Structures are given as C-alpha cells and as structure tokens.
Amino acid sequence: MKIDYPFNFEKIKATFLKRINRFVVKIKIKEKEELAYLPNPGRLWELLLPGKSLLVFKNKNTSKLPYTILACEKDSNYILLHTHLTNKIIKKLIEEERIHFWKDYKVLREEARFDSSRFDLILENKRTFRKLVLEIKTCTLFGKEIAMFPDAETKRGTGHILKLAELGEKNLKGGILFVIMNPEIKYFLPAYHIDYQFSKVLIEAKDKIEIRAIALKWDESFTYVKEVKELQIPFDFLGKIEDKGIYLLVFKIKNKEKLKIGNLGERIFKKGFYVYVGSAMNSLSKRINRHLRKNKKLKWHIDYLLQKGENLKAIPIRSFEKRECEIAKELSLISQKIIPDFGASDCKCNSHLFYFSYNPLEKEEFQKLIIEYRIDKINHVFTKN
C-alpha cells in the first residue's frame, strides 16, 4: 500500500500486546490477535507498553504481515511511529511554507547521496539559490515539556552529523531537523543520557550546521498536521553536560540462586527481575562498561549477583547531582521486594537492589520514573520563565 500525506486512508484502532522483534509486533484488533509491521527500529520503551492504543492500517494481501503500525497513543495525543513517513510530511509542510524558518526554500531533491551517506532532502533558497542538505529525525522520546533524540544509541546518526558538518568545505550547508510528535513540547535536547557521543558531536557541530526542532499537532482523525511549532534548543545548558551521574541495571535471574555476596555473606535470590541503583560521579560510561563485562574482579555487591544475571540492560542518567538514594527511595515504592543492605554500605538507604516478579521495563510506572529523572527533573535548569 502506497502511503501519502495527508493520511486519507482508513485507520484501524488496535491494542499493543508484545514486541516480537525490532520490526514485528503482536496486536489485538477487537478480540483477534494479529501480527503487524513496525516501521521504527527505536527502543520505544515508554510507548510500546502492553495495553497501549495503536492506529494501524491494512497491508496488501501479498504482504507477510496483515497490518502496519502508524501511531501509538500517549497521554491525549497519537504519536507517529511510522518514521518512513516523516520525510513526506516535512516535504509537504515546506512546500506549503508552513515551516516559517524555511519559507523561502523549496524542495529540490529527495534522498540525495553524498559519498557514502544518504540525506533526506536537498532544499534550495528561492532567492539566493543557496542549497541546504537536510537530514530529518523523528523524535518519540519526551517528558512534559522536553523532547530528546535518540531513544537508543545511533552510530549512523552520529555519522550523519559529521558528514553534514563537512559539507561547508564543498560550499554547501548541512542541516538537521528533529520532528517531535507532541504539540505540548517546548524544548529539544539531544539524549545525552542515552547516546553521549551523538550528543557531544551535535553540540560541537552547532556552528557548522543548521540545527532545528519542531513539534507537530495533528487533527483528531490523525490525517493532517494542524500546527507546527518551533522548539528551543538550550545549547548553553548542553555545553555543561559531563559524563557523570547515576545508573540503573535491570537484569533477570533465571533460577533461584544461593550466592555469597562479599561481606554480606550468603543470600538467597528468587528467580525474577532485579533493578540495581548505582552512581559514578567521575566516568559514568566507564563504570557501566565495567558492569557489562563478564570477566572482572569482584569488588562490589552487584558484581557477585551479576555473575548469574541475564539480559542485562544499563540505564544511564547523567546528572550534576548524586541522586542514587533519591531514586532508590522511589524504586522501593514500586518494587515488590527490597533486598536488605545490598549496595548501600556507604549511605543510609535500606538497599539499592529491588525485586520484581515481572519485567519492570514493560511497566508504565517504571518508565515514568526513568523519564522523570532523565527529562522532567532538568526542566528547572533552563525553564525559569
């Protein structure tokens, strides 16, 4: 099915059940379970939660999967997940002169290749004929007022920025546009918690390329964009970011285990999921990489337990403040069990390790906690007005 913007085609309401792999999800339409294509390789942890409402459309009978995901409901808005369509939307908005800072430009070409890189659009100023090579990124990660990109590490995205910065040597201007699918957002930042390298490269390129961010508001039927709003990018704040802060380790213990944990002695750990809270106010990346290594000298309580851990996920939260005890307190309120004295020998907390019988990454309350500390708690730094 060829999809054009505006989306004048039938949209079907569905319910998200499970992500099978990066591009296939299980959904429910009415009472029937179906498989659907997900045209978005992002993590989407905070969006694709069991029970979430989706908009899908039917594929041709020749397709292996009967449906394709278009959008996911978040609060009072639908968020476009079909990232392949973002370019078509932006192209149309530019042609209609609805993106005010590029109202003097026209779309010259789509999917242009420079050396080994491909970029989404080439724009041309209708008066000066100056060309702008544009890369478009769809942003689905946001809190109350702040959006961030990416939601997973992107070496490809980092490479795009470096290539765009080089275009100045060829008498071309490079640009990157972040498109946020939430009209309530006011600020955009690179997701320095998630991809520190991407963020540093983007900040360093701010004087070499044009960096813009917009938020889109859709009509009630999710057919066309009603409003386009430019977002602020607080580069002064971003220039102060350092590789330090706190982290969560989420992992699974497959079977009941009896382990000796350093000076804590022997402990019994039930099968299930565990979340550990730690901090590294020098090099956060280095500390996390150490935890991810299988072979290391056993030093901290968590080192002993991770020997039996599976599916380890690290969630960095870069911060100027050491907030591990604050997060530990909040985790104690949503976890099913606190593991006494674990990882808390140098503070007054009962523990820094928490037990869940289910995967906490699939629960909205856990995702909200991550968003709160990664995004919402930095609001006050640059939103004083």
* Three-state SS sequence of the chain: CCCCCCCCCCCEEEEEEEECCCCEEEEEECCEEEEEECCCCCCCCCCCCCCCEEEEEECCCCCCCCEEEEEEEECCEEEECCHHHHHHHHHHHHHCCCCHHHCCEEEEEEEEEECCEEEEEEEEECCCCCEEEEEEEEECEECCCEEEECCCCCHHHHHHHHHHHHHHHHCCEEEEEEEECCCCCCEEEECCCCCHHHHHHHHHCCCCEEEEEEEEEECCCCCCEEEEEECECCHHHHCCCCCCEEEEEEEEECCCEEEEEHHHEEEEECCEEEEEEEEECCCHHHHHHHHHCCCCCCCCHHHHHHCCEEEEEEEEEECCCCCHHHHHHHHHHHCCEECCCCCCCCCCCCCCEEEECCCHHHCHHHHHHHHHHHCHHHHHHHCCC
> What length is written for the chain?
385
Cis peptide before 6 (omega within 30 of 0): yes
pLDDT at 237 exceeding the cut of 90: yes
pLDDT at 384 exceeding the cut of 70: no
The mean per-residue pLDDT over the stretch 189-213 comes to: 97
Binning pLDDT at 50, 70 and 90, where does residue 385 land?
Answer: very low
CA angle 199, 205, 210 (to 5 degrees): 105
In this prediction, residue 382 carries a pLDDT of 66
- The C-alpha atoms of residue 360 and residue 363 are separated, in whole angstroms, by 5
pLDDT in tens, 15-55: 999 999 999 999 999 999 999 999 999 999 999 999 999 99
pLDDT in tens, 90-113: 999 999 999 999 999 999 999 988
Sheet harboring 146-149: ordered strands across?
A: 141-142, 146-149, 187-190
Which domains occur in the chain, in start order? 12-75 (2.40.50.580), 84-238 (3.40.1350.60), 245-381 (no CATH)
Q: Which residue from 138, 88, 128 is spatially nearest to 104, judged by alpha carbons?
A: 128
Weakest mean pLDDT among 72-81, 109-118, 191-200, 311-320? 109-118
CB 173 within 8 A of CB 124: no
pLDDT at 5 exceeding the cut of 50: yes
End-to-end CA distance of the chain: 47
Give every CB contact of residue 41 below 8 A, 6+ residues apart in sequence: 22, 23
The mean per-residue pLDDT over the stretch 67-85 comes to: 94
In this prediction, residue 173 carries a pLDDT of 93
- The C-alpha atoms of residue 80 and residue 90 are separated, in whole angstroms, by 13
pLDDT in tens, 241-281: 999 999 999 999 999 999 999 999 999 999 999 999 999 99
In this prediction, residue 106 carries a pLDDT of 97
- The C-alpha atoms of residue 301 and residue 22 are separated, in whole angstroms, by 34
pLDDT in tens, 238-248: 999 999 999 99
Give bridge partners of residue 12 from the DSSP assignment: 56
- Largest Cα span, the chain: 75
- The C-alpha atoms of residue 36 and residue 57 are separated, in whole angstroms, by 9
pLDDT in tens, 289-304: 999 998 999 999 999 9
Question: Average pLDDT, whole number, for the chain?
Answer: 94
| CA distances in angstroms from 80 to 100, 137, 260, listed in the order given | 22, 12, 48
Say which amino acid occupies 249. Answer: L
